[in-house]
Amino acid sequence: MYTFNPGPSQVYPQVRQYLQDAFDEGWLSAPHRGERFVQLVRQTVQELKTKLNIPQDYTVFFMSSATESWEVLAQSLTPTKSFHLYNGAFGQKWYEAAKSLRPASVGHKFGIDEVPDVDKLPGLDDQTDLVCITQNETGTTTQLRDGVVLNMYNRLPSRALLAVDATSSMAGIQLKFIKGDIWFSSVQKCFGLPAGLSVMVLSPRAVERLRKINERSHYNSLPDQYDKMLNFQTTHTPNVLGIYLLSRSIHDNPPIKTTHQHVVERATKLYDYFDQATQLRPLVTNPETRSHTVIGLKGTPALIDEVKRRALAQDLFIGSGYGDLKPTSVRIANFPAIPDAAFEQLVQFFAREFS
Ligand SMILES: *Cc1c(COP(=O)(O)O)cnc(C)c1O
């Protein structure tokens, strides 16, 4: 059985052994204030920075989910309002989460085949604390290329920081962390691990800001988390098993550059195939806005149903479309933990049954 569901997604096969080792090595009852745990966090942070090319002077935080990151950013880094540029369900949910805490927050929606023009964004003004973008929109299977993120970063209003939701791309493709202040992801997507842990990284500028704002009224307020992270600890009992699995997996995986090449090549081949050879078509028409890590395909509701049903009967679990797009699309995760053999089976399935 292979799953192409874009989260929770197929985990690395090594996870089976890591879980056994975690049990045998006593991690499941390890005290989270003890030297052994502190060592594990220190090592995991270092390895994440090395393998993913995160600048050394950025600070890494562990939380429970990307959703928690949305909330924490509104609490601790948004005294007035945030600005949200989005084209799908996850970006919109982030906007709604921010708006419920900071009602002055503003959203701007763009089309799935559109490269957003960051020069003309209505509502983006000098009162904006945080500009929020979704680097890979898992709902619409689109991606903002490096150039768009860079332009956004270069055009930030005076006091704004750039926050990037990279939940379904971090650890799958190479990200230019230096061109953003806040990046976050949860591990059940491209990290190929079980859910319940997220990674958030902050630039020195973002750390300086959170210390200045000094919002401390929540259990997960960023200044408290920051104080603890100085000693590689957390404010509350963390997901020790999740951090252990992450440390093992990141250690055994190649540098992001290698993974990136593999993922992008595989995406290119898949888009080429679906552009011509099947009854389904890529959901996103513009090659410049297509995601490398989540591939959307569209068809009539009857065809979509049939594809999912017949694939499942052959042990291939294809992800449903998301939100409004559910009846007319499917999503195929192109995450690094899914082996090439799975994609060969998938393409053979389409060639045989839906060409
Ligand atoms: C999956 C996903 C989320 C939500 O992640 P959780 O860990 O469930 O909170 C947020 N943003 C994007 C882009 C996602 O793909």
List the domain boundaries for the chain.
2-8+255-353, 15-252
Tell me what pLDDT residue 98 has: 98
* Ligand 1 center–CA 66 separation, angstroms: 5
Residue 164 has pLDDT above 90, yes or no: yes
Closest CA to ligand 1's atom 5: 66
Q: Name the CATH architecture for the domain at 15-252.
A: 3-Layer(aba) Sandwich (3.40)
Sequence-ordered alpha helix ranges (H) in the chain: 15-24, 35-52, 66-77, 89-101, 146-154, 204-213, 222-229, 240-252, 256-276, 301-313, 340-353
* Ligand 1 center–CA 35 separation, angstroms: 32
Q: Which of 94, 189, 325 to mutate to test the pocket of ligand 1 (most atoms within 8 A of CB)?
A: 189
Average pLDDT over residues 138-148: 98
Quickly state the pLDDT bin for 278 (edges 50, 70, 90).
Answer: confident
**Angle at Cα 159 formed by Cα 52 and Cα 71, nearest 5°?**
60
Residue 298 has pLDDT above 80, yes or no: yes
Residue 125 has pLDDT above 80, yes or no: yes
* Ligand 1 center–CA 267 separation, angstroms: 21
* Ligand 1 center–CA 269 separation, angstroms: 26
Q: Which of 138, 141, 143 to mutate to test the pocket of ligand 1 (most atoms within 8 A of CB)?
A: 138
Q: Which residues does a 6 A CB cutoff place in the pocket of ligand 1?
A: 7, 65-67, 90, 134, 138, 165, 167-168, 186, 189, 198
* Ligand 1 center–CA 186 separation, angstroms: 7
Query: What is the atom index within ligand 1 of the atom nearest the CA of 7?
Result: 1
Q: Which of 132, 167, 173 to mutate to test the pocket of ligand 1 (most atoms within 8 A of CB)?
A: 167
Backbone angles phi, psi at 148, to 5 degrees: -70, -45
Query: What is the atom index within ligand 1 of the atom nearest the CA of 69?
Result: 9
Tell me if the pTM is above 0.85.
Answer: yes
**What CATH number has the domain spanning 2-8+255-353?**
3.90.1150.10
DSSP per-residue letters across 338-349: S-HHHHHHHHHH
Quickly state the pLDDT bin for 277 (edges 50, 70, 90).
Answer: confident
Instruction: Give the Å distances, CA to CA, from 290 to 51, 196, 257, 264, 287.
Output: 25, 28, 20, 11, 5
Instruction: State pLDDT tens for residues 198-228.
Output: 999 999 999 999 999 999 999 999 999 999 9
Residue 355 has pLDDT above 90, yes or no: no
Query: What is the atom index within ligand 1 of the atom nearest the CA of 294?
Result: 15
